[in-house]
Structure 1
Amino acid sequence: MLQPYRELAAVPRVPGLLTWATLGRLHMTGTPLAMSFLIAGWTGSYAIAGVIGAALLVGLGVSGPMRGRAADRRGAAGLIVFTGVCYGIGMTVLAFLPTWLPSSWWPLMALAAFTVGLFNPPVIPVGRAIWPRLLSGSALNSVYTVDATLTELMYAVGPLLAAALVAAVNPELSIVISGALATIGALGFARMLTLAGLGGPVPTIHHAKPRRAGLFNVPGVVASLMLSFFLVAALLMVDMTIVAWARNVNLPILAGVLGAVWAVGSGIGGLIAGGLTGTPRLTRRVVLNLVGVAALVPVLPPVFDPASPWLIGVVLLLGGAAIAPAAAAANARLGELAPEERRTEAYGWLSSASTAGFALALPTSGFLLDHGGPSYAAAGAVVLVALGVVLAMRIPAAKPVPVLS
């Protein structure tokens, strides 16, 4: 089972690229928490904090495809350096705007957050797009699994670091450090891309200029993006469900503990899946994800009341084992489907689809929690993953003929 990992370690630059790609996304997982504390303290409103946090995410989602296309056509390294520096400066400005402006000026803060989001360095789409240029076979499947597993780890580590800085110092410093991490991660990743010979434009196989065909015309691309949309929305709904249940029982610390258990389960599943040989079966992995989410419904109130944190933890640990493998298979499949010269753009659209999933999950989970309870919100997540299963069945396994730009 360790053979694919040995193959990864043997390829020059791959360990370094993985390390810097992971560090380059760490800031994204802790920023929303720090921003919520900052804005809530400034305005006294969590609703406004949510609006400003959403503005940052919308900026990221809107610019994702454009930055991906620019990376494909003009080169990724220079773009990542430029956006990384701008993003770090922008986050520093956002951290101190509340000290310079009265709280009634919060719409300006929302506009500024949207603008800063436009400059989020495209480390994630570029990081996912480069692997087929370096690896193949079981090693390629393994690197996508490692990437998904490390992403889950960042979602456990990032908020904890941000919360520690908020508690020990203040939200301003937490946001400044988040911006600094984004800049450092972007510079390091860009340097590794250059050393690996991947910092320039993606070479096109053909030089003829036929009638332009859209990326969305490639069979399976739209279904892959929609699959990510539903999976991300479902996972965030589960996360919101656990937070709400922990608050309802007056033990908010359980939200962090159970979230960590969920991430550990995902990490274990990812490590096991990454060591398997053969082509991953996307539909099977999404079905396992569905089973894991569905198992939460009967262990949460009002179906099971009072709920047992131990039972919930066991379900999250086992069900979480399907998260990273499913995400890895979905990411790898999109990389197979997208033409090489449009691959980063495709992953930019994937980031936008994930952001849209967040936008769907927040109000939907809130409505179900208010009108039914945690088990109802978990059932809503089940419906979303079930739709993902249907989409996974429609995504072709074979890579189509490349579409030229």
Structure 2
Amino acid sequence: MVGPYRGLFNGPGVKGFVLAGFVGRMPMSMLGIGVVLLVQGLTGSYAIAGAVAGVCNIAFAIAAPLSGRLVDRFGQSRVIIPFAAVNALALAALMLSARLDLPQWTLYAAGLLVGATSLSLGSMVRARWSHLHGGSAKLHTAFAFESVADEVIFVTGPALVTVLATMVNPYAGLIVALACMFSGSIALALQRRTQPPVQPVRSAGGTPILIPGVALLSCVYLGLGAVFGSVDLITVAFAEEHGAKGAAGFLLAAFAGGSMVSGLWFGSRSWRISLRGRFVRSLGVFVVGLLPIMFIGDVRIMAAGLFLAGLAISPTLITGFSLTERLVPPSLLTEGMAWISTSIGFGVAIGAWAGGRLTETFGPSNAYGFSLAAAFLAVVVGLAGSGLLRLPEAPSPAKS
């Protein structure tokens, strides 16, 4: 399993941008649950907590393609630094609004600014990999590694922020998230030799979302994002209902842990099945894996159930980003990948809002039905439009 990953980090500057990107995107797994724990602890309402988290995600979803376009036009370094500075100030304002018991609208306003200035560092790191290994079979392994890195973040982040928020201070998790975001982002911005060069735009006013295959992927990932957002919030309520609120982060870590294990395995294989075939199969496994969690009433069994449910996440994300890289012209690559992130962000916002409402109305176990329905809808859309994802296969490993 380790073989294909050997030598992947040997190029000049590769280890630096991988490490900086990893640290800089730690908040993507910490921010949502950190906001939920903070706001729910202050207001006693999962609906309000989900709404504030949802505002962050909606703002990110709207802004990500725009910031991605700025990166494609002006380069990563010139965009990252000002965005990171404003994002740090906005997150500090969110915590101060909560600490000083300011009017509720200030939480939403600060959350809006936090989301709008959050950069899709994962897209930027993948763009660097694409610049280094575009057209090579190594790109599959690199994207697989990045999905595994994402899942390591989602394994450690929720557990870390939960421990900090419940055992140290309600604000401690968000403070650590702020420190990771700012230090990692600035470190990535300063590494200019590995960033993709700015390429001339060949079609004025063009946007990747108008490419049929990218539009289809965005719709699919909207549904998957709704799964992620709802599972995050509902699982916190599930743990609290069973007297183990502090275990919520570990339950979410189990969900991400399944994805991490499958991502390592998936990236180590040389596949003969087409990218489209891998994508469709991964979607099918994902919806089947979610079925049992509606019927589990024990925290320890739920950890195992979420681990199994997470096994299809990485393969679905790896193939989705690989398809996007093949479908989008180089001059729009960062924006194209940002559309995947923005779709997930919209879905997470919808899922967090719906999960909060349904949890308070029907209880957490029944609310998981929304997660299952969202996954099923993503599968239906992916299968129905899979013809839009047909494309020539990348060069075989023997030629890379």
Same fold (TM over 0.5): yes
**Quick check: 2:221–2:344 contact (8 Å CA) kept in 1?**
yes
From the superposition, tell whether residues 232 and 337 of structure 1 become closer, same or farther in structure 2 (CA, over 3 Å): same
Query: Any stretches of 5+ residues in structure 2 without a counterpart?
Result: 394-400
Equivalent residue of 2:190, what SS? helix
Counterpart for residue 362 of structure 1 = 352
Conservation of the 8 A alpha-carbon contact between 1:4 and 1:138: no
Residue deviations 1:33-61, cap 9 Å, x none? Answer: 33234334444544333332222222222
Distance in 1 of aligned mates of 2:216 and 2:318? 16
Alpha-carbon distance between aligned partners in 2 of 1:147 and 1:340, rounded to the nearest angstrom: 19
Query: Structure 1 residues 281, 171: CA separation in 2 closer, same or farther (over 3 Å shift)?
Result: same
Per the TM alignment, residue 64 of structure 1 is displaced from its structure 2 partner at its CA by 0.8
1:211-253 CA deviation, whole Å, 9 max, x = no partner? Answer: 6544333231111211221222234444455455444444445
The alpha carbon displacement at 1:151 in A equals 0.9
Q: Shift in Å at residue 310 of structure 1?
A: 6.1
The one-letter amino acid of 2:107's match is M
Counterpart of 1:293 (choices 287, 292, 303) is 287
Q: Does the C-alpha gap of structure 1 residues 332 and 36 become closer, same or farther in structure 2, counting only changes over 3 Å?
A: same
SS in 2 for 1:322: helix
Look up the match of 2:391.
Answer: 398
Separation in 2, partners of 1:154, 1:92:
22
Aligned to 1:351: 341
User: Which segment is superposed worse, 156-165 or 137-146?
Assistant: 156-165
Task: Report how far residue 360 of structure 1 moved.
Answer: 2.5
CA deviations 1:130-158 (Å, max 9, x no partner) are 22211142210111111111111211211
Counterpart code for 1:227: V
**C-alpha separation in 1, matches of 2:269 and 2:248:** 32
Counterpart of 2:328, as a letter, is: A
> Structure 1 residue 350: deviation in Å?
2.0
Three-state SS of the structure 2 residue aligned to 1:398 is coil
CA distance in 2, matches of 1:335, 1:312: 36
How far 1:299 moved relative to its partner? 6.2
2: CA distance between counterparts of 1:131 and 1:16?
A: 13
User: 1:327 Cα shift?
Assistant: 0.6
**What is the one-letter code of the residue matched to 1:76?**
Q
TM-score, structure 1 as length reference: 0.84
The residue aligned with 2:263 is 270
Deviation of 1:204 (Å): 2.8
**Largest Rg, 1 or 2:** 1
Alignment partners' CA distance in 2, 1:85 and 1:268: 34
Shift of 1:333: 0.8
CA 1:314–1:161: 2 relative to 1, 3 Å: closer
The answer for the alignment partner of 2:32 in structure 1 is: 32
Offset at 1:89? 2.4
Provide the rounded CA distance (Å) in 2 between the counterparts of 1:288 and 1:51.
Answer: 30
| Residue 358 of structure 1: how far off its partner (Å) | 1.2
| Equivalence for 1:50 | 50
Deviation at 1:341, TM superposition (A): 0.6
Rounded to whole Å, the distance in 2 between the matches of 1:225 and 1:153 is 24
Whether 2:209 is the aligned partner of 1:216: answer yes
Contact 1:238-1:378 within 8 A present in 2 as well:
yes
Comparing 152-161 with 337-346, greater Cα deviation is found at 152-161
Aligned 8 A contact 2:141 2:268 in 1: yes
Change (3 A) 1:63 1:363: closer
Return the alpha-carbon distance in structure 2 between the equivalents of residues 384 and 350 of structure 1.
Answer: 17
- 1:403 alignment partner in structure 2: none
Q: Deviations over 1:173-225 (max 9, x none)?
A: 43233222111010111123x032x26x522386xxx6654433323111121
Between stretches 345-354 and 384-393, larger displacement belongs to 384-393
5+ unaligned residues in a row in structure 1: which ranges? 401-405
Aligned CA distance change for structure 1 residues 11 and 205 (closer, same or farther; 3 Å): farther
CA-atom RMSD, angstroms?
3.0
- CA shift for structure 1 position 340: 0.7
Shift of 1:278: 3.9
Match of 2:76 in 1: 76
Contact 1:128-1:144 at 8 Å conserved across structures: yes
Question: CA offsets, 1:288-325, max 9 Å, x none?
Answer: 44334324435643xxxx75666655444344222111
- Length-normalised TM-score, structure 2: 0.85
After superposing the two structures, state which structure 1 stretch, 246-255 or 17-26, moved more.
246-255
The range that moved more, 111-120 or 309-318, is 309-318
